[in-house]
Amino acid sequence: MNEFLFILQILIFPGFLFLMVYAIFAEWMDRKLFARMQNRVGPPLWQPLADLIKLFSKEVIIPRSAGHYLYILLPYFAFAAVVTAFFFIPVWSSQALYSYQGDLVVVAYLLTVPTLVLALSGWNSATAYSILGGIRCLTQLFAYEVPFFLALLTPALLLGTWNISEISRNLPSFLVQNPFYFIPVILSFLVGIVALQGKLERKPFDIPDAETELVAGPFTEYSGRLLAIFRLSLDMEMVVGASLLSAIFLGGANSLIGIPGFIAYLIKTLIVIFILAYIKAALGRIRIDQMISFGWKVLAPLSLLGMLIVVLFRKGGIL
C-alpha cells in the first residue's frame, strides 16, 4: 500500500501531473501579468493549454542536416531533468518527496541540464539561427550559473546543511532569532531572482532566442510535439525555479500565519513568478556582452558578498 501511495505521489501529487498543471497555469499568469503591465488584455485562462494541444497535433518536421535520433531525444532529456528536480522540493509540507543531504546540489545540477540541452539542440539542428542560439545559450550560462549557485549556498552555509527541506524548515525561525542575517539572505534572494530570469532566458536575458535577430534561436527548426515538450519543459522549469527560491529563502511550504502549507507554497511561488513577470515587462533585451559583464561584475560579487557576510558573522566573532 505504501509503495502504491508513493507511485501516486510521483505521478499525480505532488509529482508530475501537479507540476504540469501548475506550469500551464503559471505560463498563463505570466502572460496575463505581462499583458496587463503593457495595458493589454492578455490571453484567456485556457490559451496555454490550447497552444500545447495545437502543437501536439501538428507534424514533426526534422531537418535533413540534423542528427535524427538526437533531435528527437533532446526535448525529453530537458523534460525529465526538470520533473526530477521537482521531487526534491517541499510542496505540500516541510518535507519533500525525496530528501537527503546534498539534494540542493542535485537540484542545481538538474536545472542546468535544460540549458545544456537547448545549446546541444541548436547545434544539432545545424542551421545558422539554431547554431547561433545554441552558442548564446552556453555563453549566457557562464554568466548566471555561478551567481545563482552561490546565492543558493548562502542559506546552506548559514544553517550548515545542504538539504532543501531542512533549509526551508529552519531558516525562518533562525532569521527571527538572528535578524542581522536578513541582510545576506535578502541580498542572495535578489541575486537568485535575477539569475533565475537569466536561466529561464526571459527579458532582458532572452538573448539566445531573440526573435528579431535569431527567429527562435535553438527552437527555430523544432515543430509539433517536440516543440510542445520544449515549451512545457521551460514552463515547468519556471515553476521549479520559483519553488526552489521559495523553499530556500521564503520558507517554502511551511505554514504561514495559520495558512496550510500547500496554500503557503502556492502564495510564495506566485509571488516569485510575479516578480519575474515584472522584470520581464519593465526591461528591454540587452546584448550578450552586457549579460556576461552584468553576471560577473554585478551578480557574482553580490552573491559572494552575501556569503562573506555570513562567514564574518558566524566565524569572525562579529555576532
Q: Residue 17 falls within a domain, yes or no? A: no
Q: Residue 34 falls within a domain, yes or no? A: no
Can you give the chain as a three-state secondary structure string? Answer: CHHHHHHHHHHCCCCHHHHHHHHHHHHHHHHHHHHHHCCCCCCCCCHHHHHHHHHHHCCCCCCCCCCHHHHHHHHHHHHHHHHHHHCCCCCCCCCCCCCCCCHHHHHHHHCCHHHHHHHHHHHHHCCHHHHHHHHHHHHHHHHHHHHHHHHHHHHHHHHCCCCHHHHHHHHHHHHHHCHHHHHHHHHHHHHHHHHHHHHCCCCCCCCCCCHHHHCCHHHCCCCHHHHHHHHHHHHHHHHHHHHHHHHHHCCCCCCECCECHHHHHHHHHHHHHHHHHHHHHHCCCCCHHHHHHHHHHHHHHHHHHHHHHHHHHHHCCCC
The total domain count for the chain is: 1
Higher pLDDT among residues 216 and 115, named by residue: 115
Question: pTM for this structure?
Answer: 0.92
Q: Residue 110 falls within a domain, yes or no? A: yes
Domain residues for 207? 57-315
pLDDT digits over 214-267, tens only?
Answer: 777 788 888 889 989 989 999 999 999 999 999 999 988 887 677 788 898 999
pLDDT digits over 158-200, tens only?
Answer: 888 899 999 998 888 888 888 888 888 999 999 999 999 989 8
User: Could you tell me what percent of the chain has a pLDDT over 70?
Assistant: 97
Q: Residue 25 falls within a domain, yes or no? A: no
| Average pLDDT taken over every residue of the chain | 87
Q: Residue 120 falls within a domain, yes or no? A: yes
Q: Residue 29 falls within a domain, yes or no? A: no
SS3 label, residue 163:
coil
Q: Residue 152 falls within a domain, yes or no? A: yes
Q: What is the mean pLDDT of residues 11-40?
A: 90
